[in-house]
Structure 1
Amino acid sequence: MSQRFQRLQDCLGYRFRDDAQLELALTHRSFGSPNNERLEFLGDSILNFIIGEALYRKLPEAREGQLSRLRAQMVKGETLAELAHEFELGGCLRLGEGEMKSGGQKRDSILADAVEAIIGAIYLEAGFDACAERVNAWYQPRLAQVSLDKPSKDPKTELQEFLQAKQLPLPDYQVVEVAGQAHAHTFTIACRVALLKQAVQASASSRREAEKQAAAAVLEKLRGH
């Protein structure tokens, strides 16, 4: 296994006994067959159950509809892609030449599918309890923030809905700077909205997180006004 794959396993907090299982989980259909589509199917089902149980136990007063909405927020592609970025998973993907050239290693849908496939692979190799322990550990910061007293929407969604309610243009996010080495980039994003004269900037280790932070800062300014 390459150093990159070893680092990925360190981020996952799980070391595969069979390296071929991890390679399969990271193999996109564009690379050929076999690929990770079956593992993705399995991982999706397991993830929904693990997060559903975690929410059920954390929020005993929540109704079925509330639990369903919170789970959907937790297991959606965007959240899975965020996890993939945290794991620096993109550089480990096995993609076909065309997909690689078109930036597939950064595409949210491909990253999200790979995370689900990894969950499926861990389940097959180590069983449900070990798989649930890892998934709950990955999601711990997000689960800790879950509450029925505050909205589960991320700041970008909140900002978009805030502006739409006022019939204003949607926010414009632009990359101002990408600094650091390839494995440790820092993205600086500027967010512009019609209600503010100046753009608001934020920096983070992923573009998505920087956009969220910028949106949160804009919301704070708007609500302050």
Structure 2
Amino acid sequence: MGHYFLKNFKRGMEVKRENLSELEKRINYSFKDKNLLIEALTHSSWAHEGKNSKISNERLEFLGDSVLSLVISEYLYKNRKDLEEGSLSKYRAEIVCEPSLARCAREIELGNFLRIGKGEELTGGRERDSILADAMEAILAAVYLDGGLEVVRNVILELFKNIIEEVLEGLIYRDYKTKLQEVVQSMEIGKIIYELIEEMGPDHNKTFVTQVRIGDVILGKGYGKSKKEAEQAAAMEALIKLGILK
């Protein structure tokens, strides 16, 4: 099935209405303004190579980031009353991150519908996580603008259903410490230090509190049922403060 749509989205061809209809079926939403959907599918490389269009999905991506974050935040707030602010932030970051967005995009074969430039086409842009994640955010923004908050909420919760469940059940685990180490090394701003600053609760049910710092600058603080979990939570908060995670 994917090959059929990829063929119809050859470089230089306009978006076909039947292809738009197929994508609409996959996200379970029919656009009133098809131009919004076309814009969401248009990577900047398409415009840069002179495809008779100056639009790209970058502005929609900006909006979609906030729409997704709002919907997931609201869902977690209403459905997980047992979670404190730190845990809510942790789960939200895992759900709305680039790998999750790219996974959703692949599940609906979004890459086959994109308008991308020749250079991106030749270097595998249709399967690149960053391009897929950005396009997914753009699609969500387009749905929001076309149908409103309630509509996009339903679309998001259906598309992200499995990811939400897996994250809340602890089936998805991301190594924030390694990611933070990579970021700090690339910025050349010093050595990362993790410090256990507090242990709370009885021995059989302790909560560990750890902070991560560079020099005297505290980047983040995390809580966990083990020292390792607390360090991961601290690294995640640091990545959020640095703008790496949302």
- TM-score bin, normalised by smaller chain: 0.5 to 0.7
| Superposition pairs of residues 80-119 of structure 1, within 5 angstroms | 80-119=101-140
Q: Distance in 1 between matches of 2:108 and 2:170?
A: 28
Identity of aligned residues (%): 40
Structure 2: state its 5+ residue gaps: 1-15, 48-53, 179-246
Q: Distance in 1 between matches of 2:69 and 2:117?
A: 29
Larger radius of gyration: 2
SS in 1 for 2:138: helix
Q: Distance in 2 between matches of 1:41 and 1:21?
A: 14
Q: Distance in 1 between matches of 2:126 and 2:167?
A: 30
Q: In structure 2, which of residues 5, 8, 27 is the aligned counterpart of residue 12 of structure 1?
A: 27
TM-score, normalization by structure 1: 0.65
CA contact (8 A) 2:44 2:116 kept: yes
| Superposition pairs of residues 133-144 of structure 1, within 5 angstroms | 133-144=154-165
Q: What corresponds to 2:42 in structure 1?
A: 27
SS in 1 for 2:105: helix
Deviation per CA, 1:130-185: give whole Å up to 9, x if none. Answer: 111111111222223443x746416xx5xx9xxxxxxxxxxxxxxxxxxxxxxxxx
Q: In structure 2, which of residues 45, 69, 81 is the aligned counterpart of residue 48 of structure 1?
A: 69
Which amino acid in 1 is paired with 2:82? E
| Superposition pairs of residues 129-208 of structure 1, within 5 angstroms | 129-147=150-168, 150=170, 152-153=172-173
Q: Distance in 2 between matches of 1:47 and 1:140?
A: 13
Q: Distance in 2 between matches of 1:52 and 1:46?
A: 10
CA contact (8 A) 2:94 2:167 kept: no
Distance 1:145 1:19, change over 3 A: same
Deviation per CA, 1:4-56: give whole Å up to 9, x if none. Answer: 33221111001111221111001011111211100000000010010011111
Q: What corresponds to 1:185 in structure 2?
A: none
Q: Distance in 2 between matches of 1:150 and 1:109?
A: 24
- Worse-superposed segment, 133-142 or 99-108: 133-142
CA contact (8 A) 2:64 2:138 kept: yes
Which amino acid in 2 is paired with 1:111? L
Structure 1: state its 5+ residue gaps: 161-225
TM-score, normalization by structure 2: 0.60
Which amino acid in 1 is paired with 2:39? L
Q: Distance in 2 between matches of 1:113 and 1:95?
A: 13
CA RMSD of aligned residues (A): 1.9
CA contact (8 A) 2:98 2:133 kept: yes
Which amino acid in 2 is paired with 1:11? R
Q: Distance in 2 between matches of 1:92 and 1:118?
A: 11
Q: Distance in 2 between matches of 1:145 and 1:56?
A: 17
CA contact (8 A) 1:28 1:93 kept: yes
